[in-house]
Chain A
Amino acid sequence: MLLNIKDLHVSINGKEILKGLNLGVNNGEVHAIMGPNGTGKSTLAAAITGREGYDITSGEIIYKGKGITELSPDVRANEGIFLSFQYPVEIPGVSITNFMRTALNSKREFEGQPPIPAGEFLKKMEEKKKLVDIQSKLTNRSVNEGFSGGEKKKNEIFQMAMLEPKLAILDETDSGLDIDALKVVANGVNALRSENNAFVVITHYQRLLDYIVPDFVHVMYDGRIVKSGGKGLALELEEKGYDWIKEQVENR
């Protein structure tokens, strides 16, 4: 199993947000995490990637057979965990090209490889830019500075393509996207799907799942996964809303 989360409890400033979450992800799988706002979806992403301030009070995150909760975020990233941010941050004065080269070379250093030769790097950039329909104008600009919502999300997927992660977590990648941008992003993700990686797609709406078809759908409520199923579950949620899940949980 690529990722195995066991009875995970996470608090922020002493307030428990995740209350015993279990999730198993194998290579080659796409898992969708759905649920109403404020149920801990983004907290899950932050806990897996090691963001500061998210205290794991109990439980385990096993990735590639090893516990990772003590590892720093950059080590986790270099081990192949990628997060497509819900709100990508601006880094003024740092071009995407420079940023990507620094990131890629950090990964190579971690793996004991020499820095990527300039020619090879540029070739790779060109190839991956096509994947998400990004113009060179954009990659010469500072990271996310003045980008539209769609450009920011495309840039996230572009970076994912460059870094070729084993486990990619997409946090509300569909929010703020029009239908055309959504298709571009989804096509990018689909092109990267393989037997050697896995995706965890966090989304509020089922719309994205029309384009990125999941193998499993999980519904989160009050810090736990309360229902799991196939892609049909997403459609059921779309039709009925989340209230019936809430009722089920509360009447248990």
Chain B
Amino acid sequence: MNEEKENNNILEEVTSGDYKYGFVTDIETELAPMGLNEDIVRLISKKKNEPNWLLEFRLKAFRHWLTIEEPDWALLKHPPINYQDIIYYAAPKQKKELESMDEVDPELVDTFNKLGISLDEQKMLAGVAVDAVIDSVSVKTTFQDTLAKHDIIFCSFSEAVQNHPDLVRKYLGTVVPYTDNYFAALNTAVFSDGSFCYIPKGVRCPIELSTYFRINAANTGQFERTLLIADEGGYVSYLEGCTAPQRDENQLHAAIVEIITHDNAEVKYSTVQNWYPGDKEGKGGIYNFVTKRGLCKGNNSKISWTQVETGSAITWKYPSCILKGDNSIGEFYSVAVTNNYQQADTGTKMIHLGKNTKSTIISKGISAGYSNNSYRGLVRVSKKAENARNFSQCDSLLLGDKCGAHTFPYIKTNNNTAIVEHEATTSKISEDQLFYCQQRGIDNEKAISLIVNGYAKEVLNQLPMEFAVEAQKLLAITLEGSVG
């Protein structure tokens, strides 16, 4: 039908928005030889001047990785990844230790400025401390002094290994063991940098903490590791952002994030994921295989995941909560947008172990172009988890008729006092809604952005203010040129 054709044309326009972070920075980079073997693992560990226990930990993970296979249960299609075609360590060359901002390579400062991330504390968004990670290393962590006043540790993972080895050793791999899955084993063997954060007893972190990840070098993989601990009564809100240059080859990103909350502690973890998604024909883009998991170890503790996923050619990601402490709370708020040939298989796991534990899952999928977007979630209530509660809502919005939306909810309860609710809807932006907006003078593109943002509002509301505005813009850009 004519109308449908017209709709699809406009859809095509809206979905053809260009990736704005596709530039490459010309910096001198130190690279490890291509491929992966024990020597590479040893090389990375040596570069980082790591203690022996950490090298052993990496080697164990590597040997385990050799014995297992890539998972194939997700609704994702991609050519086989050749793990020997990847460079596992890339670092911008630096002459010496950095003492102040003036010593950061101006090219790098410029790169982050272009991304809208200022490393200059005076020019930064008030109240956000940033750890900037480029390729395999952290370049700069801002607001160190402010944080030190509260005895908060926030630094690159490498620094944490040097300066706080006991804390790292105590918690590393306790939430995501290297045996957890294929990509977790790989990450544990070759992870290069990332962020570390420790909130001491009774401290509410006064500013937002943020890590900004940037892949720059070609043919490299990025394997960062984030470890976040909130001790008794501690609180922190943590933000994570990411971008990568535009390239025809796919690049691998396999990260691990571990969160531990003790009694009465709370961690809010927000992600705006905008890795390069590939071009309109599906060429290039980041393969994003990430394991994120939080352990509500103490009673009355809380972990909240909020994610806005707009980038990557492939997203395989299930930020989860293990609700071990009694009365602990897990939350997952997600907006995942796929366009062109992007594929996302994302969701969460809520594992109820303690009594009176509660979890909430709000997932909003938006598919456009030829993309596929799946929600995959597990709610498990163990035998001892008396009075567990879960509420899940999984909505899918389809833009156009060539894309797919799928929902795979798994519920396993072993305790009959549990109350588990699941709601799901699938909808399309209706021609009526678009015409209504247009009749008020709002053009198609703005109308789609308005409707999509309205649809995702529940999730966007969970983001810290500055991020929410960014996320709204990002949704509009991702779907730019997409519906009619």
Show the binding face of A for B, using Cβ within 8 Å: 49, 51-53, 72-74, 77-78, 82-83, 85, 88-94, 98-99, 102-103, 106-107, 110, 142, 159, 163
Task: Write 14 A-B pairs (CB below 8 A) sorted by A numbering.
Answer: A49-B439, A52-B3, A52-B6, A53-B2, A82-B439, A88-B436, A89-B430, A89-B432, A89-B436, A91-B433, A93-B454, A94-B454, A99-B437, A106-B442
Which residues does chain B contribute within 8 Å of A159, judged by CB atoms? 440
Assess the B3–A77 pair: CB atoms within 8 A: no
Of A73, A88, A102, the residue contacting B450 (CB under 8 A) is A102
Assess the A102–B455 pair: CB atoms within 8 A: no
Assess the B441–A107 pair: CB atoms within 8 A: yes
Assess the B440–A93 pair: CB atoms within 8 A: no
Q: Bound complex: CA of A252 vs CA of B426, how far in Å? A: 53
Question: Nearest Cβ distance between residue B335 and chain A, in whole angstroms?
Answer: 12
Assess the A73–B438 pair: CB atoms within 8 A: yes
Which residues does chain A contribute within 8 Å of B438, judged by CB atoms? 72-74, 77
Which residues does chain B contribute within 8 Å of A73, judged by CB atoms? 435, 438-439
Taking the complex as formed, is B107 at the interface, i.e. its CB lies under 8 A from any CB of chain A?
Answer: no
Taking the complex as formed, is B457 at the interface, i.e. its CB lies under 8 A from any CB of chain A?
Answer: yes
Which residues does chain B contribute within 8 Å of A74, judged by CB atoms? 437-439, 441-444
Cβ < 8 Å to A, chain B residues 206-239: none
Q: Bound complex: CA of A171 vs CA of B446, how far in Å? A: 25
Which residues does chain B contribute within 8 Å of A110, judged by CB atoms? 441
Top 7 nearest A-B pairs (CB, nearest first) are A93-B454, A94-B454, A93-B457, A103-B440, A73-B438, A77-B441, A106-B441
Cβ < 8 Å to A, chain B residues 426-484: 430-433, 435-444, 446, 450-451, 453-458
| With known contacts A91-B433, A94-B450, A78–B439 Cβ distance under 8 A | no
Which residues does chain A contribute within 8 Å of B442, judged by CB atoms? 74, 102-103, 106
Q: Bound complex: CA of A175 vs CA of B430, how far in Å? A: 23
Question: Nearest Cβ distance between residue A25 and chain B, in whole angstroms?
Answer: 18
Assess the B440–A163 pair: CB atoms within 8 A: yes
Q: Bound complex: CA of A85 vs CA of B439, how far in Å? A: 10
Assess the A102–B446 pair: CB atoms within 8 A: yes
Show the binding face of B for A, using Cβ within 8 Å: 2-3, 6, 430-433, 435-444, 446, 450-451, 453-458
Of A51, A89, A106, the residue contacting B433 (CB under 8 A) is A89
Assess the A77–B450 pair: CB atoms within 8 A: no
Which residues does chain A contribute within 8 Å of B440, judged by CB atoms? 77, 99, 103, 106, 159, 163
Assess the A92–B450 pair: CB atoms within 8 A: no
Which residues does chain B contribute within 8 Å of A94, judged by CB atoms? 450-451, 453-454, 457
| With known contacts A92-B454, A102-B442, A110-B441, A52–B435 Cβ distance under 8 A | yes
Assess the B455–A51 pair: CB atoms within 8 A: no
* Given A49-B439, A72-B443, A93-B453, 13 new contacts (CB under 8 A): A73-B435, A77-B440, A83-B439, A91-B450, A93-B455, A93-B457, A93-B458, A94-B453, A98-B450, A103-B440, A106-B441, A107-B441, A163-B441
Which residues does chain B contribute within 8 Å of A91, judged by CB atoms? 433, 436-437, 450-451, 454
| With known contacts A52-B3, A91-B433, A94-B453, A106–B439 Cβ distance under 8 A | no
Which residues does chain A contribute within 8 Å of B451, judged by CB atoms? 91, 94
Question: Nearest Cβ distance between residue B215 and chain A, in whole angstroms?
Answer: 33
Q: Bound complex: CA of A59 vs CA of B441, how far in Å? A: 25
Of residues A49, A92, A93, which shows the largest number of chain B Cβ atoms within 10 Å of its Cβ?
A93
Chain A: which residue is nearest B1 at the CB level? Answer: A13
Q: Bound complex: CA of A138 vs CA of B436, how far in Å? A: 18
Question: Nearest Cβ distance between residue A197 and chain B, in whole angstroms?
Answer: 16
Chain B: which residue is nearest A145 at the CB level? Answer: B454
Q: Bound complex: CA of A107 vs CA of B441, how far in Å? A: 6
Question: Nearest Cβ distance between residue B446 and chain A, in whole angstroms?
Answer: 7
Q: Bound complex: CA of A159 vs CA of B436, how far in Å? A: 12
Question: Nearest Cβ distance between residue A18 and chain B, in whole angstroms?
Answer: 18
| With known contacts A74-B443, A78-B441, A159-B440, A142–B454 Cβ distance under 8 A | yes
Q: Bound complex: CA of A106 vs CA of B449, how far in Å? A: 14
Question: Nearest Cβ distance between residue A234 and chain B, in whole angstroms?
Answer: 27
Chain A: which residue is nearest B435 at the CB level? Answer: A51
Question: Nearest Cβ distance between residue B397 and chain A, in whole angstroms?
Answer: 10
Which residues does chain A contribute within 8 Å of B450, judged by CB atoms? 91, 94, 98-99, 102
Q: Bound complex: CA of A53 vs CA of B440, how far in Å? A: 19
Q: Bound complex: CA of A1 vs CA of B391, how far in Å? A: 59
Question: Nearest Cβ distance between residue A110 and chain B, in whole angstroms?
Answer: 7
Which residues does chain B contribute within 8 Å of A90, judged by CB atoms? 433
